[in-house]
Structure 1
Amino acid sequence: MPRPAPTLPMDLKYLQGSPVTPHKKPNEKNQDGLVCEGMASGMKSLLKTRQVLKRLFVFMRTVFLLSAGRFVVPRKRSGIPSKPVKILVISQTRLGDAVLSVPLLTVLHDRFPSAQIHVLANRYIREVYEMCPHTTGIMELESVFGPLDWAHGIRRIRREKFDWVIDLNTDGSLMPAVAAGYSAAPCRIGYGQDGRRIFFDAALPFPKEGRHMVDLILGTLAPLGLSRDRPGFDLVIPKAEERDTAAMLERIGVKRGRPVVGIHPGGVHPTQRWPAENFADLSDLILRSGEAQVLLLGGPKDQILLSEIVNRMQGAPIQFPPVTRIKGLAALLNNLNLLVCNNSGPLHLASALSIPTISFMGPTLAEQWRPVGEGNTVLRRDDLDCIGCNMGICPVKTHACMYGISPTEVFETIRNRLAQDSKILSS
C-alpha cells in the first residue's frame, strides 16, 4: 500500500474525554490528495452495495422470525417481577463491550443489593466480570458461534430459573435473543431490531441517533424503571496479579519513579490500526527525548506486529511478555502513566481504570466508541470525506485516516499529557 505523505497542520486540536475535534472545517476541501473525488465516489458506491445486501438479509430474517415466531417462541408474559431474586445478564462478545457493561451491573446491584447477578459470557471476556464485585456468578459459553454450545447454554439457563434476563447485544445477534426467549424467565429484555423482538417481553427499539455504547447498554434498564445515569467502573484487580505484574516489570528493566508510556498497536480490523512504522517512529521520539520509558505490550496475536515495530526502531524499547489474561492486562495497564493505542478493548479497559490514553480513531463511529471519562485524547482526521466509514478494509485504498496522523504530532500530545500527569510507577 503506498504511504501518503501526512501534511496536517501542527496545531492539532486534542480531545479530552469528549467528542472528537476536527483538524479542519468539515466542508473544507482536502488539499493533501489523500482522498480524491473519484475514490470518494467509489467508496460511496461500495458502502451503498454493502448496505443494500445487509438490509436484504435482515429483511428476510425478520420476515421469517415474525412469521414463525408465534409457533416456536414461548408465550410472552405480562408484568415484571418487582423484586428479582436472580438476574441474568447476557454479555456481548468482545473485551471493550464487556468493560462498558460494568456500569449496568453497578446499577442493578445498587437497586437490588440482595439479588444474585449472573453473567453469561464467553471464555475470553469472563475475567472482566470476575473483577466486578457485583457479579454473583458467571456462566461460561464455550463458543459464541456454535449452535450446540448455545443449546447447552439455554438448558443451563432454564435450570437456574432466573427472574430477569437482560440481553445486552446491540448488533442484531440472533442467538443471545434466542437464549433469552427460551430462558423461561418471567421478564426478558433486549433490543428488538432485525426480528429479535419476538424473543423479549420488553423489546426495545434500537435508537437511530448516535449513542455511546455505555448508554445503549444502560438503555436496557428502561423497562425496569431504573436510572440510566452513568455510574463509575467498579473493577477490582486481584492482588496476586498486581504482585506478579510488578515483579515482571522489575525483571524486564522498568525503572520505578520514571514515567512509563505503554504502546499497544493491536486492533480487530486493519483499518483501525495506526501503521507499525508510525508506532516505531513515535517510540524512538519518546526514547530520544528521555522523558519516559517505552513499554511495548500486546497479546499473542499482536506479537508479529510488535516484532515489526521493534525491527523498525533505532532505540531499544522494553517489551512485556505476551499478555494472555484480562486480569493480567488490567494489572499491567494500572502501572502505566499513559497508554497509546488504537480503538480497541485495551483502550476501554485503560479508561475504565482511569489510566490516561491517547488513541486513534478512523473508521470507528466516534459517538459510539470514544473512551469514557477524563484524561482520554482521541486523534482523528475529521476533515476526510470517508472518516467513520465503519469498514474493516479501507474502501479508498489509502488508509488516510491513520497515515494522516504523524508520529511528531502524537509525540507532542504525549509530552503535554505527561506534563499534566503527576502519577508515577508504584513504589
Structure 2
Amino acid sequence: MNQGKATSPRIGIYRTRYLGDLILFVPVLRKLLERTEPRNLFLVVNEGTEFPLEQLGIPFFSFDRGTLFRKMHSLQSLKKMLKHQFFDYWIDLTLSDRSRHVTRNVKAGMRVACGSENDHRPGDPYDLFVPVDYNHGPGHVVDLWEQVFRKAGIPLPVSEKDGRIPVDPDALQSVDRFLLEKNLLGRPLLVIHPGGRHWFKRWPPDRFGRLATWWHQNRQGATVLVATEAEHTLIESVQSAVLPDDPVVPFFGTVPELHALFSRADLFAGNDSGPLHLARSAGTRVLGFYGSTLPGVWGPLPGEGGRVRTLYHSVACSPCDHTGCTLGNQNCLRQIPLEESLAVLERMEKDERAGSEERL
C-alpha cells in the first residue's frame, strides 16, 4: 500500500441534498482518493443519491426520506453509528439544523462548515466556517468545495476535474436489452430529460419535441425520453410535438440504468437537474438548459471540443431561492427560444464531426 495513503486522515463529509449535487462532488472525491483509501472517507447523504459512492467504493450512510418516524429513526441510527468513530476532519457542506445536530455528536479533531454568511449562527459546533455563495459563486461549485477543503488544511492535488463515474455492468446489460427490444441499437441516440424539480426549471416540453424531430431528420437517429413513473403527462407533452414517424421511446429506469443509457447515447439534452450531471459523468455530450441557477456555478463540468453547452438567458430574479416563481409564462426557461437551441445543436454536431475527423 502507498505509505502516504496508509497514514492519511479520516474524513467525514455531510452532504444531504440532491443527486446532481453529489455527482458534482465527484471531482473532489477523486482528488481525495488520490491521497487516501476509500475506507478513510465517510459520507452522509440522502436516500436515492448513493450511486456515485457505490461506484467509487466509498462508505456512506443514507438518510431515509420517508415518513417523519422513519426520518427520526434514521437520524438515531446515524448517531449510533458515529458514536464509536473518530474523524480527523468532519466537513459539513449542507449547514442545516439536522447537520448541526449530527455534528454536535461527532468526535472529530476539526469540524468545518461552509455556507452563506447569513446561515452562520453563534454557538455553531464548528472550529472553522468558510463563507460560500452557492448562488453567485464566484466560480464553479467544485472550485468552492475545493477551497473549503484547502482552508481546512486538507491538501488536494492541483489537477483537472475528473467527474467520471464507472458504468454498472449489470445496468449496462439491462439497457442494451432495452435498446435491442426497441430496435435502437446502432442508431444515433438522443436522450432527452424534460423534467425538473420545479415547474419553472423546465424548458417547454413542446420545444424538446422539436429537438427530437430535428435529430431524426438530420441524424436519422432516435430519441429516448427519460422520466419518472409519475411524469407520464410530461412525456406525452413531448411526444405530442414530435412528427408521427419520428422514433421516440420513453424509458423509466433506475439511476444506474439511466447512467448506463447515457453512456450509450450520442447526446443528452435536458434541464438543470440530476440526470444532466449523470449524463456528463458518463462521458456523454450535454446540452443543458438553465434559468433559476447560474451555469457558471452549477453547470456541468466542461468538455473539450464543444462537447458541453449550456443555454441561459438572465432575468432580474435569477439566480433565485426556488421558493416559487411569479413570472408565469415569462419565466426564465421560456426565454430560451427553440431557434437558439437548434443553432447550438447544429454547432455541436459540426464540432463533433470535426473532432472525429481529427481523431482518424
- Whether TM-score is above 0.5 comes out as yes
Deviates more, 1:139-148 or 1:159-168: 139-148
Partner of 2:90: 165
Aligned to 2:32: 108
Runs ≥4 in structure 1, deviation > 4 angstroms?
82-85
State the match for 2:328 in structure 1: 397
Q: Which has the higher strand share?
A: 2
Quickly say closer, same or farther: Cα 1:114–1:365, change in 2 above 3 A. Answer: closer
The alpha-carbon distance between structure 1 residues 281 and 175, as it changes in their structure 2 partners (threshold 3 A), is same
Q: Distance in 1 between matches of 2:321 and 2:220?
A: 36
Counterpart of 1:62 in structure 2 is none
What's the counterpart of residue 341 of structure 2? 410
CA RMSD of superposed structures (Å): 2.7
Q: Is 1:377 matched up with 2:305? A: no
> Which residues of 2 match residues 138-157 of structure 1 at below 5 A?
138-143=60-65, 146-157=71-82
> Whose radius of gyration is greater, 1 or 2?
1
Distance 1:389 1:190 in 2: 23
Distance 1:260 1:128 in 2: 24
Query: 1:147, CA displacement in angstroms?
Result: 4.0
Distance 2:181 2:317 in 1: 45
Normalised by the length of structure 1, the TM-score is 0.71
Deviations along 1:126-163, one digit per CA (max 9) or x if unpaired, are: 11211124x1x222221397344323312212223333
- Name the amino acid aligned to 1:118: F
Q: What fraction of aligned residue pairs are identical, expressed as a percent? A: 21
Distance 1:129 1:358 in 2: 25
2:297 corresponds to 1:368? yes
Give the CA deviation at 1:298: 1.9
Structure 1 gaps, min length 5: 1-81
SS of 1:262's equivalent in the other structure is strand
Tell me, yes or no, if structure 1 residue 255 matches structure 2 residue 178: no
SS of match in other structure, 1:231: coil
Of 179, 190, 201, the match for 2:102: 179
SS in 2 for 1:421: helix
* Map of 1:239 onto structure 2: 169
1:76-115 matches, within 5 Å, as 83-84=7-8, 86-113=10-37
Deviations 1:77-123 (A, max 9, x none): xxxxx955533222232011000111222222212248522222222
Partner Cα separation in structure 1 for residue 323 and residue 252 of structure 2: 25
Q: Which protein, 1 or 2, shows the higher relative CO under an 8 Å CA cutoff with sep ≥ 6?
A: 1
What is the aligned partner in structure 1 of residue 51 from structure 2? 127
Distance 2:282 2:251 in 1: 21
Q: Residues of 1 paired with 2:199 and 2:322: CA distance? A: 9
Structure 2 residue ranges without an equivalent (≥5): 1-5
CA distance in 1, matches of 2:137, 2:21: 19
Alpha-carbon spacing, 1:228–1:114, altered in 2? closer, same or farther (3 Å): closer
Q: Aligned-pair distance for 1:209?
A: 4.8
Would the alpha carbon gap of residues 161 and 390 (structure 1) be closer, same or farther in structure 2, given more than 3 Å must change? closer
Alignment: residue pair count: 336
> Which residue is 2:144 aligned to?
216
The CA deviation string for residues 284-328 of structure 1, in whole angstroms up to 9 with x for no partner, is: 2332335422221222233321122213433343314312x2211
Question: Secondary structure at the residue paired with 1:92?
Answer: coil
Contact 2:190 2:224 in 1 (8 A): yes
Measured after TM superposition, the shift of residue 211 of structure 1 is: 3.2
Moved more, 120-129 or 286-295: 286-295
Cα separation, 2, equivalents of 1:88 and 1:281 = 46
Tell me, what secondary structure is at the counterpart of 1:347? helix
